[in-house]
Homo-oligomer: A and B are copies of this chain.
């Protein structure tokens, strides 16, 4: 480095100076395999050398299809550190979406876990950019030696064996910090998947700022150097919210659980002493309600909830188990973290109901995040307005656009702000509270009615297990709310019972009066997207046409 040149912000710097210095600190896979940080760093260097030996060049794209594992973490570092792009493939995509995303990203090499080989086998002929496949397996090496390749992917080898055969790479290049490091696809409920991408600089700044915010809270929910970390958000999903990078920078013990099986997750929390995780509400719901987990001690566990809004009832249930629960907000396009709902020490002293209110809110913007809420007239909404608007953001770590899609990129960044398409109100604690997606808001006689708020109220009825509220066209009002309700097992609620429940909230001034127009329909299940969110597009098609 010549005199006076400025070191770039590179992913390799996150790896080589953890704050907590303990080369013996562990990275654990499924409670079965353990690696020290010293070994981990050496494995990253071996993986980098191995990928280069397989012909991976700067700018090439290396894709991964795996459950949450130490291997995935190694790829988070090694792939960008040699100047290649890590494509984290969503293994829940349909065949057609897989063909589209793999081809669109121009993947050169795919590392694929045994369980996902059947997804690739039938489309092998249609993903022409892919030159090589590497097998990821949880089987012992003896078994894998003998294994044949029924899918015809012509593996160049098995990950563990290739790693052991490689000489660790000694130095990693000093890349331009704007070099692309990762890419992945976001599947809306309509249209083709859209690719987003992030540079070394963006991932480093996201790591520093998010970790600073998580760590600096007084007491509640903070992530620090004595924690034990386990992700329960898939690593293909927005870098597991970037938290594996933060955990590595902190130098804490990390536990990667493999496939998510509720009672095994709970067992890992107990046996490995996990204190910090993050997940979507659905997974938390499964974990808390699995009968096998009834005796599991979760009282040292902090969990950050994101992906969709946290129902108050679920928040209360988690708190009843001693869980320190709160929420974050972000999206694929935003790396992802934009806001966190951390409670101050004063707020921690509030009565349960008020605390829940604070814990489930969307939260305050992180430092360096400029966030505004803009109403239908393009006017910026303040806390005094009590009115909803669209959340628009700027921050150093937002995707610069959609991959190879200028038109959608321009729409995303219209007016120089990234449009989240989320609808929120501001409050006097500096927080925003997401009330809906712009396209899911129910427009009743000119007023915006939040489908999420109605769902939240309905979930508080003891007979409701799941619910989705959509807008049903209605002559006089334009739209009225329609609730699709899955009753709790063993109950048979009627429509009148539930509309009465909603009316009580209207009477208390906790819901807009238009809510009394609610219709209810009982259903067996509510359709979900590939990442477990309610699929309202599918629901509208199913129940409104």
Contacts and interface: CB of A to CB of B under 8 A. Distances in A.
Contacts of A430: 21-22
Nearest to A219: B226
Q: For the complex, would chain A's binding face be called helix, strand, loop or mixed by DSSP majority?
A: loop
Interface string A99-142: 00000000000000000000000000000000000000000000
Nearest to A369: B17
Contacts of A345: 226
Contacts of A217: 19, 224-225
A4 B400 contact: yes
Contacts of A9: 205, 368, 396
Contacts of A223: 216
19 contacts: A1-B417, A2-B416, A3-B401, A3-B410, A9-B205, A13-B370, A17-B366, A17-B370, A19-B212, A19-B364, A19-B366, A22-B430, A205-B208, A208-B209, A211-B212, A215-B216, A216-B224, A218-B226, A226-B344
Interface string A396-414: 1000110000000110111
Of A212, A394, A396, A410, most B-chain CB atoms within 10 Å:
A212
A401 B4 contact: yes
Given A21-B364, A366-B17, A394 B225 contact: no
By Cβ-Cβ distance, the 3 closest A-B pairs, closest first, are A21-B430, A3-B413, A218-B226
A46 B354 CA distance: 38
Interface string A350-370: 000000000000001111111
A491 interface: no
A19 B367 contact: yes
Interface string A35-67: 000000000000000000000000000000000
A14 interface: yes
Nearest to A178: B6
Contacts of A445: none
Nearest to A226: B218
A193 interface: no
Interface in A403-434: 409-410, 412-414, 416-417, 429-431
A396 B413 CA distance: 30
Contact of A416 (B3, B6, B212, B216): B3
A493 interface: no
A218 B223 CA distance: 9
A311 interface: no
Interface in A1-37: 1-9, 13-14, 16-22
Nearest to A1: B416
A250 interface: yes
Given A1-B416, A21-B429, A213-B19, A249 B7 contact: no
A531 interface: no
A7 B410 contact: no
Contacts of A18: 367
Contacts of A20: 344
A457 interface: no
